[in-house]
Structure 1
């Protein structure tokens, strides 16, 4: 357990160093105006005229310009056994994290990000990329209000068991694993989709469903806080 660097009661936008554009960034900022940068993500902040409340990482990807611009907010974490994404997640306390700049770049980085989500059970983190919005399904039962007809992928990040109601091809207490059953080309069939999940399972939807995913995560956060 680490002492938090950022402790805030409102959502955070977390910027990574992989590609992100104005559209993705604006989607995140609409939900979470406060910004934290993971190492080289500070360069995205600098280019977009944003001032992060903290820059967290080992600083091996940070440009001289971004380092100078945000010098007062740099928090160097030198450990080499974790990625900058993990360094941030373990040191940010917030009800919701909108993370962009973590998908769509190097494959090893993407896999490390997904592995971190699974290991930390980071159900409050929403990953936003050019085409997708992704979230780790909470353990037990959850209901998501989605648009029928859109694609949906149910992707195990480890050993898992999943039941669903409301998908085109529902899962009935199915054992799933990265090297076993996955549901990568499913679709939303009903406006309310219910999952019963044990183990780490990623739900991936079109970026147009971001508002619905945010609402679902915040509903889960509110429910668990009662």
Structure 2
């Protein structure tokens, strides 16, 4: 089993080196819609491109097909987002983990929908990698604890995506032991790393842990 990088069609501008390194290191790449040709331009052929191709340049399917890249096309009138479709493909491929990138646009509705996809992937130890930040889901029924290697002084925020209890935060300026966080409470915003290793765990509920880009590594329990 291997991990899959799911690439959305909303990359941060002027960050080609970051995305190129991420693509190079990935075991498997599934590109959403217009991300297919973008991945090719960065030197990595996706293992599959999925979507309705509404964000692709005209003729993209033909060009990708000519390169031998598999395509899974869906109608524009569909119930799932391209990210959800990509997640379904990752499951079919037997992925043991998923990472999302270039998936968080300036549109609030798209970003919230992408976070929903992340939560639905909680059994696959999902993470987000973007030029300015990284994020993980901590879920009591799946991955109940994460350890993040960070730079001292890095900003770390913890948000409850559903009411959470038994929340413990270690290695932060404002620690918490067996605490509670209500839905999207601001209580966990903008904490500061006081150690090079930060631990976040939960007994009930689901948390989103976001660290500024200084957080460059993680290990998962």
Whether TM exceeds 0.5 here: the answer is yes
5+ residue gaps, structure 1, are 1-8, 221-226
User: Is the 1:104–1:129 Cα contact (8 Å) retained in structure 2?
Assistant: no
TM-score, normalised by the number of residues in structure 2: 0.81
The offset of 1:122, in angstroms, is 5.0
The offset of 1:33, in angstroms, is 5.2
User: Is the 2:133–2:213 Cα contact (8 Å) retained in structure 1?
Assistant: yes
Equivalent-residue separation in structure 2 for 1:99 and 1:178 (angstroms): 23
1:144 equivalent among 144, 148, 157? 148
User: Is the 1:24–1:128 Cα contact (8 Å) retained in structure 2?
Assistant: no
SS in 1 for 2:99: strand
In the alignment, what sits opposite 1:209?
Answer: 215
**Greater displacement, 138-147 / 51-60:** 138-147
Judging changes above 3 Å, is the alpha-carbon distance between structure 1 residues 24 and 104 closer, same or farther for their aligned structure 2 residues? Answer: farther
Q: RMSD of the alignment, in Å? A: 2.3
What is the 5 A alignment of 1:161-180?
161=165, 162-180=167-185
Equivalent-residue separation in structure 1 for 2:86 and 2:139 (angstroms): 20
Judging changes above 3 Å, is the alpha-carbon distance between structure 1 residues 110 and 172 closer, same or farther for their aligned structure 2 residues? Answer: same
The structure with the largest helix share of the pair is: 1
> Aligned pair count?
207
TM-score, normalised by the number of residues in structure 1: 0.79
Can you list the C-alpha shifts for 1:177-222, whole angstroms capped at 9, x where unaligned? 3443441110111233222213221111122323x13xx14xx4xx
In the alignment, what sits opposite 2:188?
Answer: 183
User: Is the 2:163–2:183 Cα contact (8 Å) retained in structure 1?
Assistant: yes
SS in 1 for 2:80: coil
Equivalent-residue separation in structure 2 for 1:105 and 1:156 (angstroms): 22
